[in-house]
Amino acid sequence: MATQHSRSAARLMIAPAVFVLLVWMLIPLCMTLYFSFADYRPMRATFEPWIGFDNYVSFVTSSSFTNSVITTLQMVGGILCITIAGGIALALLLDQPIFGQGVVRILVIAPFFVMPTVSALVWKNMFFNVDNGLFSYLYKALGLQPYDFLSQAPVFSIVVIVAWQWLPFATLILLTAVQSLSSEQLEAAEMDGAPGWARFWYIILPHLSRAITVVILIQTIFLLSVFAEIFVTTNGAFGTRTLTYLVYQRVLESQNIGLGSAGGIIAVILANIVAIFLMRIVGKNLDN
Amino acid sequence: MARAITTRKKVMWTALSWGIGLLIFFPILWTFLTSFKTEATAIADPPVWFAFDWTLENYRAVQERSNYPLALTNSIIIAVGSTILGIAIAVPAAWAMAFVPGRRTKDVLLWMLSTKMLPAVGVLYPLVLLAKWLGVMDSRILLIVVLMLINLPIIVWMLYTYFREIPGEILEAARMDGASLRNEIIYVLTPMAIPGIASTILLNIILAWNEAFWTILLTTVDAAPLTKFIASFSAPEGLFYAKLSAASMMAIAPILVMGWFSQKQLVRGLTFGAVK
Amino acid sequence: MKLERAFFAATAIVSVAATAAMAQSDATTLTIATVNNGDMITMQGLMDDFNEKHPDINVEWVTLEENVLRQNVTTDISTGGGQYDILTIGTYEVPIWGANGWLVPLDDLPAEYEVDDIIPAIRDGLSVDDTLYAVPFYGESSFTMYRKDLMEEAGLEMPDAPTWEFIRDAAAKMTDRENDVNGICLRGKAGWGENMALLTAMSNSFGARWFDEDWNAQFDSEAWSNTLNFYLDMMEESGPAGAANNGFNENLTLFQQGKCGIWIDATSAGQFVVNDDSTVAEHVGFAQAPDTGLGKRGNWLWAWSLAIPTSSENVEAAKTFLTWATGPDYGELVANEKGWVAVPPGTRSSLYENENYTGAAPFADMTMASMNTADPNNPTVDPVPYTGVQFVAIPEFQGIGTQVGQQFAAALAGQQSAEDALAAAQELTNEEMEAAGY
């Protein structure tokens, strides 16, 4: 039972976190908001503090906006699918008694430590490159025409890179969940003659649902802001411009801070809609 | 598990796991191998695996062209600094949210996570202007604070979910014994919370180490960490795979080694409330 | 109140820290932002000479890949600068930034610097109203590099001034995909400084232009359609797989590995195709960039240059550095270390009169000829309201050029037709120009 005393102590303890995040939210975000209504183009030495909703209108009506939203959804969705499916498979595999479990676990989680720039550079040059990449050698060894991943399957290529980095995270969380599964239940099902897929579908998967939602939530937050991987590999070409990348292009390449800021605000709003939607699910899942 | 495991089955699973593990690890292994090749061997067709003249030439070239010790020091200071600061702020907050939940706790938590949704580039100009106005551009302090703020929501969330699993009965029992709030925290709760905090620290160090937007745009020389160091090797003129690999290994090796040594701690607390 | 006090405390700590950092050294420290090209890296290796001559000046390098460099430098300068004392920028940025008053005018360089020795076209490109705002570190036009041995096998001879038709024909004859030989390598990677540099320069020789005199985009013109279709068809016949990801560096690697018959790109590549990294060094020939007989050749003009932002507090020291790095003696310094062929090309006329250089660099004459024919003030067949050969010298071009480049790269990758790419380019260019108030 929380007393009055502990309640005010609690408030005091939360205060610093709330305070710094508020400052973080308020100052840069308010400045962004302010710029988003301004015609601010430093290269032209233009600064007009109020032009109404012009920036918002031109950001949303530009031909690239809808495409970038679709690309974002494809990319995030693709990465989530791969990491979750792969993560469940790996978690079940790592749960088996094997020789050298510790070493295998180290191998599997290693990609999580690699910085995005490095992994994008390595994948782009040493694997996807059509002249000197390993995949090309593999294709040639199999007697096939080398495949140019980055221009023929650009979104897929980036999904592969990012999924490779996030697979360990999903695996680790799902592994903890798998390990908490009671073996009696599984054994009972096995005795009853339930086939492997049924055990998976009716016992394991429901047990993992909570972990899966957590993975979706945390990863989505990070995946919406994927930037380095696109910047390094395709520079936004071949339809790989996500919303984040489009904002980048407006701000840094076109040097239109007003327009970019409006894009940033729109991105925050859209991301929060997704987040609220996710939170509802997770919140429900976490309460019961 | 209580079931009898046949050796054959175990061997089969072992082979499969090792195969997949090596496959996932392969890009790092390949980078490692390439970093010891000459530029010409690095793109040899067919690829050369182990039978080449191992050379440290690339590491020497990279080292010569850049200030690796400074970048490494900066990466360490920034990652560790932002983690310490973040933990200092997040632990009390998560603690209070977990043990003294109020009506608004969940909303506050959700709001915190939503601050993480700011697309970095959208606030680039405001932040740069602000940093210049305060005169803190290219300082480690700035990066420590910025990275702390970026990761704070995640670590509050992670700690909160971990603390929540500490059973409340223990607290009550301690209180029955007449322990004060202070003693309760120091002697009862802290030991139970250590694994969660340790794993949060590790996760935050990894995230801060790998952050590659702010660390590149808010620094020039003095505070420039390894992410910026890498940016000078990404596409120079001529053949560069071997040098790129060497630079990459230099950038990821410290965190990789740390990760391997501490993976048990990392895994133990990394649940985000996934297990009930 | 509390907030305010905390804020003051924070600023106090920061300023104390800053003063402490400054007090550490008596010498002036210059921070130089530069691109990770070979010539710049050579310069970093020659710093001993500079330090010996100027022991009171410390130099800190920030060496970055081109795109990251632009991010950093642009963010800095457009928020008031202060991070760097010397910037490495190109002929596109200098006129715009100079006109904005962001760069220190360099009209008082010492006599021994011999500013008149700088190639006039380059000096022009780095000046606003006859005031010099940056000095060139190396300059380039574009030209045709080809494999003499493959040409001979194909029974052809490369004229000094080929036409696009000839290039296409020769490329098709040299192509031998079984043996990994592609007749032609051209830039395909999206970017205003990558595929659009080539395509814009190429379009000039086809009689196309970016804008008419009233700033209307011209991608719906027949000339642009001819340019793009010709480029796409030729690349399909004789280009390498994955061309849409190839920029300057990728093509250089291909050429060095002997996988290209012809490569049309920067004259500054000359020294790299004949150096030790190149497996085909002894077979390389040089010719001018192609044309179509309309009076313009597809050769551009660019110079990586050093400039001082007005926000720098060390302008004098920075000028000292500039005169060292781009001065008349620097060439010889490089020559002593790395041989004459490695001297940064394309900045000083005297270099091309130096027999040591012309003897060592087989591309020297062709480089000079190409640089002399590029005319940024008069780049196209039809009149245009802008300057710049392979770019349009307006602030919006960077953004527009890259987006148009992405459309063309997608066409090269076979994801859309030339017509769709041009239509999209037309639409987005007009959209952006309208937003910019043209």
Q: Which pLDDT tens digit goes with each residue over B124-178?
A: 999 999 999 999 999 999 999 999 999 999 999 899 988 888 877 777 777 777 7
Q: Do B21 and A210 touch (CB under 8 A)?
A: no
Task: Say if residue A11 is in the same domain as residue A86.
Answer: no
pLDDT at residue number C98: 94
Domain that holds residue A90: 37-122+166-287
A51 within domain boundaries: yes
Contacts of C436 in chain A (CB under 8 A): 41, 44
Of the residues A53, A128, A253, A261, the best mutation for testing chain C's interface (the one with the most C CB atoms within 10 Å of its CB) is A253
Bridge-partner residues for C262, per DSSP? C146, C184
Residue contact A254–C250, C-beta within 8 A? no
Q: Mapping DSSP to helix (H, G, I), strand (E, B) and coil, where does residue C349 land? A: helix
Asked, for residue A60, whether it belongs to a domain, the answer is: yes
Residue A92 domain flag: yes
ipTM above threshold 0.95: no
pTM of the shown model: 0.91
The confidence score (pLDDT) of residue A200 equals 87
Q: What percent of chain C has pLDDT over 90?
A: 81
Query: Could you tell me the pLDDT band of residue A285, with boundaries at 50, 70 and 90?
Result: low
Indicate whether A1 and A91 sit together in one domain. no
Mean per-residue pLDDT for C113-118? 94
Per-residue pLDDT reduced to its tens digit, B198-252: 999 999 999 999 999 999 999 999 999 999 999 888 766 667 889 999 999 999 9
User: At A194, which CATH number?
Assistant: 1.10.3720.10
Closest B-chain CA to C269: B237
Residue C278 pLDDT greater than 60, yes or no: yes
Identity of the residue in B2, B16, B90 whose CB atom sits nearest the CB atom of A17: B90
Q: Å from B193 to nearest chain A CA? A: 16
Same domain, A6 and A105: no
For residue A148, the chain C residues in CB contact (below 8 A) are 241-242, 244-245, 413
> B236 to chain C, minimum CA–CA distance in Å?
6
Average pLDDT over residues A84-100: 92
**Are C256 and B236 inside 8 Å of each other by CB?**
no
pLDDT the model gives residue B4: 56
Predicted confidence (pLDDT) per residue in C318-365, tens digit: 999 999 999 999 999 999 999 999 999 999 999 999 999 999 999 999
- Choose the mutation target among A39, A43, A242 for the interface with C, i.e. most C CBs under 10 Å: A43
Strand partners, C132: C127
Look at residue A182 and tell me if it is in a domain: yes
pLDDT at res. A282: 65
Neighbouring chains of B at 3+ CB pairs within 8 Å? A, C
Q: Which residue of C has its CA nearest to B136?
A: C14
Yes or no, beta carbons of A272 and B114 under 8 Å apart: yes
- Best A3, A4, A14, A123 member to test B by mutation, with max B CBs in 10 Å, is A14
**What is the percent of chain B with per-residue pLDDT over 90, rounded to a whole number?**
49
Q: Average of pLDDT values for C381-394?
A: 93
Inter-chain contact B267–A126, Cβ cutoff 8 Å?
no
Is A152 part of the contact surface with chain C (CB cutoff 8 Å)? Answer: yes
Of B10, B18, B100, the CB nearest to A97: B10
Which runs of E-coded beta strand occur in C208-272?
260-266
How high does pLDDT run on average in chain C?
91
Are residues A5 and A102 part of one domain?
no
Put simply, whether A243 touches C (Cβ < 8 Å) is no
- A2 plus A112 within the same structural domain: no
Within a domain: residue A5?
Answer: yes
- Among B177-181, B269-273, C389-393, name the one with the lowest average pLDDT: B177-181
| pLDDT confidence band for B108 (50 / 70 / 90) | confident
Model confidence at C2: pLDDT above 60: no
The H or E element that residue C143 is part of is: strand C135-147
The full 3-state SS of chain A, as one line of letters, equals CCCHHHHHHHHHHHHHHHHHHHHHHHHHHHHHHHHHCCEEEHHHCEEECCCCCHHHHHHHHCHHHHHHHHHHHHHHHHHHHHHHHHHHHHHHHHHCCCCCHHHHHHHHHHHHHCCHHHHHHHHHHHHHCCCCCHHHHHHHHCCCCCCCHHHHCHHHHHHHHHHHHHHHHHHHHHHHHHHCCCHHHHHHHHHCCCCHHHHHHHHHHHHHHHHHHHHHHHHHHHHCCCCHHHHHHCCCCCCCCCHHHHHHHHHHHCCCHHHHHHHHHHHHHHHHHHHHHHHHHHHHHHHC
Interface test with C, best of B237, B239, B240 (most C CBs within 10 A): B237
Check B236 against C83: CB less than 8 A apart. Answer: no
Rounded distance, CA A245 to CA B213, Å? Answer: 12
Label residue C277 by pLDDT band (50, 70, 90): confident
How confident is the model at residue C11, as a pLDDT? 47
Q: Residue B48: its pLDDT value, please?
A: 87
Residues A92 and A183 in one domain: yes
B141/C256 touch (CB, cutoff 8 Å), yes or no: no
Whether A16 and A117 map to the same domain: the answer is no
Whether pLDDT at C3 is above 70: no
A10 shares its domain with A74: no
Which pLDDT band, with edges at 50, 70 and 90, does B2 fall under?
very low
A99 and A19 belong to one structural domain: no
For residue B5, the tally of other CB atoms under 10 A from its CB is 12
> pLDDT tens, A229-254?
999 999 898 989 999 999 999 998 88
Please tell me which residue, B9 or B80, carries the higher pLDDT value: B80
Mean pLDDT, residues C396-424: 95
Q: Are residues A55 and A107 in the same domain?
A: yes
Structural domains of chain C, with CATH: 2-139+302-360 (3.40.190.10), 141-301+381-435 (3.40.190.10)
Residue ranges of domains in chain B, CATH in brackets: 7-59 (no CATH), 67-269 (1.10.3720.10)
The answer to whether B43 contacts chain A (CB < 8 Å) is: yes
* C417-429 confidence digits (pLDDT tens): 999 999 999 999 9
**C87, C137, C385, C438: CA torsion to nearest 10:** -20
From the CA of C37, how many Å to the nearest CA of chain B?
A: 6
Residue A154 located in a structural domain: no
Answer whether residue A269 is part of any domain: yes
| 8 Å CB contact of C403 and A146 | no
B2 in reach of chain A (CB within 8 A):
yes
Q: In this structure, are A265 and A243 located in the same domain?
A: yes
Q: Could you tell me if residue A178 is inside a domain?
A: yes
Q: A13 and A100, same structural domain?
A: no
**pLDDT computed for residue B49 by the predictor:** 87
Whether the CB-CB separation of A62 and C424 falls below 8 Å is answered with: no
Structural domains counted in chain A: 2
The CA–CA distances, whole Å, from A102 to A99, A106, B230, C373, C398 equal 9, 6, 31, 66, 51
DSSP H helices in B135-225: 140-164, 168-176, 181-183, 190-210, 214-217
Ordered DSSP codes for B64-103: HHS-HHHHHHHHHHHHHHHHHHHHHHHHHHHHHHHHS--T
pLDDT at C22: 47
